[in-house]
Amino acid sequence: MSLGRINQPQDMADAALFLASDESRNVTGPDLIVDGGWKL
């Protein structure tokens, strides 16, 4: 489902910070697509 907006640089930075944080400790290699829901 599209979010209906264009991503901003902060959206990419937030995703990178999440992956670098302890909160992502259960993320084990899937693709993290930050495109506002355009990829189906």
pLDDT tens for residues 1-40?
A: 567 778 888 988 998 999 899 999 988 877 777 777 666 5
Q: Could you tell me how far CA 14 lies from the centroid of its own chain? A: 7
Contact 34, 7 (CB under 8 A): yes
Q: 3-state SS of the chain: helix, strand, coil percent to 5?
A: 40, 0, 60
pLDDT at position 38 is: 67
pLDDT at position 10 is: 92
pLDDT at position 28 is: 85
pTM, to two decimals: 0.63
pLDDT at position 39 is: 65
